[in-house]
Structure 1
Amino acid sequence: MRAMRFERFGGPEVLAEAEVPDPVAGPGETLVDVVAAGVNFGDIKQIAGEHTDGPYAPKGPLPRIPGLEVVGLTPDGRRVLGCLPQGGYAEKAVVADRDLVEVPEGVRAGEALALLVQGLTAWHLLRSAARMAPGESVVVHAAAGGTGSLAVQLAREFGAGRIIATASSEDKRAFALELGADVAIDGAAEGYRERVLDANHGRPVDIVLDAVGGPVLDSALDALGYLGRLVTYGASSRQAASAIAPGRLALESRTVAGFWLIPLLARDGAGGPALEELLDLTARRRLRPLVGAEYDLARARDAHEDLLARRTKGKLVLRPRS
């Protein structure tokens, strides 16, 4: 079969097309004929040799085939979405049965791929980590991104009382409003608290979902009200937040929580009610996953370079078959 693999660690340039033997499914696994593979920053970390820790870290010697998520067909004809630690950039992939879920009619491959990592993250940020209740106010940072855009829509679906989106440009803020945010503001740290309170009619907010970190996280904590929850799930600013004194939390009974999807997938698998709900919402067009450019499998390098250069918008998709 045709695959993209790497024989040494490095940047996108180490990816090369190769003919390799078809993988063989073992007990509790299914061989999937890959129709589309998703591109993630996790793939870039894999080929750079940075993705070495955690329960879903790739195993085995080089060469390796990267790729964490696929949509394809099973031998019995089911159209499925699957999560795997490596091996997605190929015409065939082996996926554990507990990491497979059937894709409903009406959901495109790219949409399904956008729901696996980004969609499940957004779902669990709201349901599992923040435990959002209907009527609560929610601030979503980086609201035009893959996870943020789904979090805005899911917060609306789950009954949020007010959704405040932050984004770095007017175009992105306008897009967040299209997705269902009540108001969209600049997410810069300076003046953050004042902008958020103004957007929430002068009141502190209940929940903040933060993927920026650094000074923005510090400012967001000050915008939380009594029993407010801040969930951090990334640090795109690459800046460290200041240490949070316990007294600062106790004063308003605030909570700061962290969330990372990978340990949850390792414990429970990707298939399950959360992913099924996301696929159902998409099939009924109540959820709009962002789908970006599609590339032939042989152009995986280009996809990685575009992602690193931030030239992309939405889920990037590789097509193993023309």
Structure 2
Amino acid sequence: MDKSSDSSSSKTPSKMAAATFRCPPELLLRPLVRRGSQVTLKPKLTANISTSSAKNTYKAAVCEDYDKPLVVRDMPSASPGELEPGMVRVAVQCCAVNFADILICKGKYQVKIPTPFVPGSEIAGKITDVGENVRMFQKGDRVFGHCQLNGFSGEAIASAQSMWKIPPSVSFEEAASIPTSYGTAMLALTQRAKIRSGETVLVTAAAGGVGLATVDLAKHVFNATVIGAAGGPEKCALVKRRGADHVIDYTKENIRERIREITDGNGVNIVCDSVGGDLFTQCLKSLSWEGRIVVIGFASGTIPKIPANLLLLKNAAATGVWWGEHKTKNPGAFRRSVDHCVDHLLTGQLQPYISKTFPLSKINEAFEYVQTRKSSGKVLVNITESVG
């Protein structure tokens, strides 16, 4: 691992709401937010959010009101045996910060959660209890994966199908940085783009969580020539250090001209795009014959219109990837995407990048760090560090 530093309702969430949470968190559909397209979700929490005199408690960062700082306070632990079938209870060690967490706490995400609630979904920790029909885990197992909510707390409940065991040589921090970013990147490159060794891959938003994971996989696992596009010299330098053969600073360089120069006019075989907008069109025009462009997200806030004539002229393909939805639509691919990343991590081929880790007491500072785009790769909150 590389570091640069350092509501309580019992109703089951609707399928649409649950699916929304499986979307890559940092790549939410911002145009939907701007149009005010929201679904109100009454979250199923691990415990009632209320002042409690219970003997067993844990710390949690609670969103008590939209667009207000989170409040770290004690929460009552659930009683043993209260789990539904197929679920596990996890003592959370660390949780990744994603941009969707921030929007949810502002009440601006496409799923609106009534306050109070505990945000956070990408976790690593130890299992403390298992529900019926759970065969793959037992108490004491070190695990990582996804929960719908409650990640920024000492205790969370998740589906066993959304969790993986942490190998002995892998830290909690490394594990928490894997599932969404590397799972998305793996599916984008293999299932959607069908990458072949030696091809040229262009990655936009290359300094982000999914971007750096895509650079890492494309270069160190699939032996591709990697071009990373990012905003600003510092982020471009980071992308270069993480394995990209070439970098493009799209704040001052024309991406089409640079790709033409880098590839001697041949174009790139694969584009993994997390930006959308006008940049998507530039990338599409930069494809080689029989090139493939994979839509991962729309960080620009603009969903592009695809000029289909370019697909015809280049015999090209445009496709999309939604990693989380594979949990229900293709559970085998869902689990394999992370399994394979863990395998490559253990061989030393992959190195997740964590730009900064905050203690739970600094959760609001962590949100600000991500919101102001100071972060690269993953930002984590260590739940077990002092919150005094």
When normalised by structure 1's length, the TM-score is 0.89
Task: State percent identity of aligned pairs.
Answer: 29
Quick one: structure 1 residues 52 and 267, their matched pair in 2 at CA, closer, same or farther if it must change by over 3 Å? Answer: farther
Spell out, residue by residue over 1:178-234, the C-alpha distance to the aligned partner (whole angstroms, 9 max, x if none): 222222223359632221021123312111111122221111111112211111222
What is the rounded CA distance, in whole Å, between the counterparts of 2:70 and 2:209 in structure 1? Answer: 24
Aligned match of 1:263: 325
Q: Aligned match of 1:124 in 187, 190, 213?
A: 187
Equivalent residue letter for 1:256? A
What is the rounded CA distance, in whole Å, between the counterparts of 1:26 and 1:137 in structure 2? Answer: 47
Query: What secondary structure, in the 3-state scheme, does the structure 1 residue paired with 2:177 have?
Result: helix
Equivalent residue letter for 1:253? N
- Residue correspondence of structure 1 range 94-173 to structure 2 within 5 A: 94-173=157-236
Q: Is it true that 1:71 corresponds to 2:124 in the alignment?
A: yes
Aligned match of 2:312: 250
Quick one: structure 1 residues 134 and 86, their matched pair in 2 at CA, closer, same or farther if it must change by over 3 Å? Answer: same
What is the rounded CA distance, in whole Å, between the counterparts of 1:173 and 1:17 in structure 2? Answer: 36
- Residue correspondence of structure 1 range 1-322 to structure 2 within 5 A: 1-10=58-67, 13-23=68-78, 24-53=82-111, 61-75=114-128, 76-187=139-250, 191-241=254-304, 243-268=305-330, 272-322=335-385
Equivalent residue letter for 1:264? H
Deviation for aligned residue 1:160: 4.1
Quick one: structure 1 residues 123 and 161, their matched pair in 2 at CA, closer, same or farther if it must change by over 3 Å? Answer: closer
When normalised by structure 2's length, the TM-score is 0.75
216-225 or 171-180, which deviates more:
171-180
Segments of structure 1 that go 5 or more residues without pairing to the other structure are none
Query: What secondary structure, in the 3-state scheme, does the structure 2 residue paired with 1:293 have?
Result: strand
Spell out, residue by residue over 1:233-276, the C-alpha distance to the aligned partner (whole angstroms, 9 max, x if none): 222223453x3332222111112222233322454569722212
Aligned length: 314
Quick one: structure 1 residues 175 and 14, their matched pair in 2 at CA, closer, same or farther if it must change by over 3 Å? Answer: closer
105-114 or 256-265, which deviates more:
256-265
Deviation for aligned residue 1:158: 3.9
Segments of structure 2 that go 5 or more residues without pairing to the other structure are 1-57, 129-138
216-225 or 13-22, which deviates more:
13-22
What is the rounded CA distance, in whole Å, between the counterparts of 1:185 and 1:277 in structure 2? Answer: 29
Query: What secondary structure, in the 3-state scheme, does the structure 2 residue paired with 1:163 have?
Result: strand
Deviation for aligned residue 1:103: 0.7
Quick one: structure 1 residues 233 and 155, their matched pair in 2 at CA, closer, same or farther if it must change by over 3 Å? Answer: same
What is the rounded CA distance, in whole Å, between the counterparts of 2:65 and 2:196 in structure 1? Answer: 48
Contact 1:17 / 1:298 at 8 angstroms: preserved in 2? Answer: yes
Spell out, residue by residue over 1:42-61, the C-alpha distance to the aligned partner (whole angstroms, 9 max, x if none): 211221223344xxx86xx5
Quick one: structure 1 residues 296 and 192, their matched pair in 2 at CA, closer, same or farther if it must change by over 3 Å? Answer: closer
Contact 2:271 / 2:283 at 8 angstroms: preserved in 1? Answer: yes
What is the rounded CA distance, in whole Å, between the counterparts of 2:233 and 2:337 in structure 1? Answer: 32
Query: What secondary structure, in the 3-state scheme, does the structure 2 residue paired with 1:303 have?
Result: helix
Contact 1:30 / 1:96 at 8 angstroms: preserved in 2? Answer: yes
Contact 1:31 / 1:92 at 8 angstroms: preserved in 2? Answer: yes
